[in-house]
Amino acid sequence: MLRTPARFCRHCGTAVELRLPDDGDTRQRAVCPACGLVHYDNPLNVVGTVPVWGETGEFVLLCKRNIEPRLGKWTLPAGFMELGETTAEGAARETDEEAGAEIEMGDLFTLMNVPRVGQVHLYYRARLLSDRFNPGHETQEARLFTEAEIPWDEIAFRTVKETLEHYFADRRTGRFGIHTLDIT
């Protein structure tokens, strides 16, 4: 479900109008009739990690959600990117907040467009520096899983499932790449 567009101007507080801006734009936007500010509605970035443990990365850290949506389901540590941070900084912050895990950040691993909800999901590979976790309030439990142990039917989001499937497939070949896909 997409977010609703702005109803009031963030600059002057006037009710906005949904119309084509005067600058030649070809999409209807929320435009303030008083000050002319155009309010763009852009996708949100979700950033996270695939934190792995073991000499060959045979264990993956998953977090059991303590919040909606998908309360009680398993996910990779991830969340919305904040202003003023890079995607990698946001992914590291989310890993610390959700799992209390110490990591060494790796390369970008998956980039998934989810247009139906106005999001872009970016996951980085990460190496765990410890097998001790201190989950935050958004997480019921943080736990390591082998591929065979992952509760596949209890994974919270399709982007997480896709990322995990790509991780284990790449691990089997010994070659990790960047995976991009559109989830429609």
**Which structural domain range is residue 10 located in?**
1-41
- Say how far apart CA 105 and CA 112 lie, in whole Å: 19
Confidence at residue 108, expressed as pLDDT on a 0 to 100 scale: 98
Task: Say if residue 58 is in the same domain as residue 137.
Answer: yes
143 close to 62: Cβ distance less than 8 angstroms: yes
Q: How many domains does the chain have?
A: 2
Task: Say if residue 143 is in the same domain as residue 160.
Answer: yes
125 close to 50: Cβ distance less than 8 angstroms: yes
Burial class (CB in 10 A: 0-12, 13-18, 19+), 70: middle
Confidence at residue 1, expressed as pLDDT on a 0 to 100 scale: 62
Task: Say if residue 101 is in the same domain as residue 25.
Answer: no
Task: Say if residue 88 is in the same domain as residue 3.
Answer: no
Task: Say if residue 106 is in the same domain as residue 126.
Answer: yes
Task: Say if residue 114 is in the same domain as residue 140.
Answer: yes
The DSSP annotation for the chain comes to -PPPPPSB-TTT-PBPEEE--TT--SS-EEE-TTT--EE---PEEEEEEEEEESTT--EEEEEEE-SSSSTT-EE-SEEEPPTTS-HHHHHHHHHHHHH---EEEEEEEEEEEEGGGTEEEEEEEEEES-S-----TTEEEEEEE-GGG--GGGBS-HHHHHHHHHHHHHHHHT----EEEE--
Confidence at residue 4, expressed as pLDDT on a 0 to 100 scale: 77
Task: Say if residue 97 is in the same domain as residue 7.
Answer: no
Task: Say if residue 142 is in the same domain as residue 159.
Answer: yes
Question: Which residues in the chain show pLDDT less than 50?
Answer: none
Confidence at residue 5, expressed as pLDDT on a 0 to 100 scale: 79
Task: Say if residue 119 is in the same domain as residue 71.
Answer: yes
Confidence at residue 3, expressed as pLDDT on a 0 to 100 scale: 73
Task: Say if residue 104 is in the same domain as residue 17.
Answer: no
Task: Say if residue 35 is in the same domain as residue 119.
Answer: no
138 close to 124: Cβ distance less than 8 angstroms: no
Confidence at residue 12, expressed as pLDDT on a 0 to 100 scale: 96
Q: 7: domain CATH number?
A: 2.20.70.10
61 close to 142: Cβ distance less than 8 angstroms: yes
